[in-house]
Amino acid sequence: MLIALVVLVTIGAFFIGITTAWLAKGYVEDYIENAAYAKSVTHPEMLDEDGNIMHDELLYVRPASPWDIPEDEDDDEE
């Protein structure tokens, strides 16, 4: 009886390991594919006249709060 239990636990652990590795492989492949795509995509405003990436300091504007909506832009309420 003990041998049968050990065999069943071993086979169960084997199948759980295969399933976990198969699912993890899918996530890792998707992550690597997405990272490679993100590295290859460059916005046109980041390039100079010759097509090289600019290494200047980039300036950007952030609103004080992304949830602040000025009242004059609120067209839903009439």
Structural tokens at position 15: 């199948």
Q: Which domain holds residue 56?
A: 2-64
The pTM assigned to this predicted structure is: 0.45
The number of distinct structural domains making up the chain is 1
At 67 the pLDDT is 74
Q: What is the chain's alpha carbon radius of gyration, rounded to the nearest angstrom? A: 27
Model confidence at 78, in pLDDT bands (50, 70, 90)?
A: low
59 belongs to a structural domain:
yes
Quick: pLDDT tens for 17-65. 999 999 999 999 999 988 877 777 777 777 888 888 888 877 777 777 7
72 belongs to a structural domain:
no
71 belongs to a structural domain:
no
76 belongs to a structural domain:
no
Quick: pLDDT tens for 10-29. 999 999 999 999 999 999 99
Nearest-angstrom CA–CA distance, 27 and 35: 12
